[in-house]
Amino acid sequence: MTRGRALTMIVYVVAAFLATMAVLLRYYVYGAGLLLPLEQHRVSHLVDTAATYLDTTTFQVRTRVPIIKTVSWYGDPAADGASTAVWVEFSSLETGYGQRIDYHERRTAFDRRSGLAVACCDAYVDDDSTARQTGLAFRLPYGAEPREYPMFDPVLKREVPLKYERVENVEGLRTYRYSSTVGPAKVEDLPGQVPGKVLGLPGREFVSVTKYVRITRTLWVEPESGLPVRVEERRTDTLRTADQVDRLVSLQADLITDPGDVAAQVAEAGAFRWRAIVIRDVAPIVFLAVALLVLPVTMLVAARVRRRARAGRSAAAQDQQQVPGHDLADTG
């Protein structure tokens, strides 16, 4: 095999390798990594510096009170499968002084690619192991789209529509804004637990009421990672008597993600977005460009090598023809 042909073969192999890597990166490596994690240890804080709530220790309404909602997620890898993950969520709403106002806990299995809840693995919501969890379990999937998603609400214990609104920037990061508004919805019966005078019914010592909740939740989601970088939750709880009259607002809060958490989540989502763009978009283009560039350059180099080789052979043949016959005999 001539030198030119050998060089051409090597370059063809390299070009084919680069083209294959481009295809694999975009359609296999990128896609194969888009699975929500089995392990999870994440904590988020939402705050309101001037909320109103019913202090159930004294049955007095407190106003302009700082409150904090702390939500923690923990993965349970022992209960997982290859395509299903199980997370446990703890959500505690407390005053800035440490008094608990509300608490919810749940265990949820979900599909690692779509994020949709799956009925298995000893799931529960609060003390109800029969609660049916449907829709997105905890967050949007990777590659979130500008459309409506169904999402499970652990406070209302039902699926709610999360509607896409528009594109907005959060600390310089491009996000999709989604929101949902649900309620007032019945969440809990409180039989004979509230003094009548608190509800404006002084003639009754204790009154049975039902708690109704209305929540407007807004999420700013970085679409590549599906991570919510900021959350706003406007919540109103009322106590309603049997005659369907709201007697008291027991909670009024406008909660929003703590600025420190926003900065951390923007950094995490931004880093994921950068990696995704490099693996899915930039690297395949670079590999293909190099492959397409190498081929013509190599063909030119190989052609030049072949021309030089032919020129060398022609010169040698001419030299041999110019040697006199008796000189050839003498050299023999």
pTM score > 0.85 for this model?
no
Q: Tell me, what amino acid is at 315?
A: A
| Residue 282, CB-side half-sphere exposure with 13 Å CA sphere | 7
Among 107, 37, 41, smallest CA distance to 72 is for 41
pLDDT in tens, the chain (332 residues): 555 566 667 766 766 776 676 666 565 555 556 678 888 899 999 999 999 999 988 999 999 999 999 999 999 887 766 789 999 999 999 999 999 999 999 999 999 999 999 999 999 999 999 999 999 999 999 999 999 999 999 999 999 999 999 999 999 999 999 999 998 999 999 888 899 999 999 888 899 999 999 999 999 999 999 999 999 999 999 999 999 999 999 999 999 999 999 999 999 999 888 877 766 666 667 767 776 776 666 666 656 655 665 655 555 555 555 555 555 445 44
Contacts of 32 (CB under 8 A, 6+ apart): none
Structure tokens at 322: 């110019």
SS3 286: helix
Q: Which of 142, 147, 141 is nearest to 161 (CA)?
A: 147
**Cα 212 to the center of its chain, rounded Å:** 31
Give the domain ranges of the chain. Answer: 3-26+280-329, 34-257
